[in-house]
Amino acid sequence: MPVVARFCGIVIRLLCLGTLGMRLHAFHGDREMVLDLKSLRVLQEEVSEPVKRMVLAWARAHQGELMAGRFAALSSGRSVAYGGANAAVA
């Protein structure tokens, strides 16, 4: 799973699963949160409430560009560093 963002100790990875769609996996320490990218529905949650809020805010802000495939190049393993409202490929 390519890393699409890193911020506040959170690592967000993108997983594309054919029939299941695109999912974001957010890791904070040894805890994980899984979101369906299309609906932003939380599928699995082991993180604290503040981390959940930050991940959901990031996902809302970047949902369109992720769904549009803007980060398709990340399959090569490059990561995206979170920089406020905009993310830049690192």
Flag whether pLDDT at 71 surpasses 70.
no
Residue 39, pLDDT score: 94
Higher pLDDT, 26 or 72: 26
Summarize the chain as % helix, strand, coil (round to 5): 30, 40, 30
Q: Among residues 86, 79, 90, which one has the least CA distance to residue 11?
A: 79
The C-alpha angle 52, 86, 10, rounded to 5 degrees, equals: 30
Flag whether pLDDT at 4 surpasses 50.
yes
Model pTM score: 0.75
Flag whether pLDDT at 80 surpasses 70.
no
Instruction: Give the number of other CB atoms < 10 A from CB of residue 60.
Output: 10
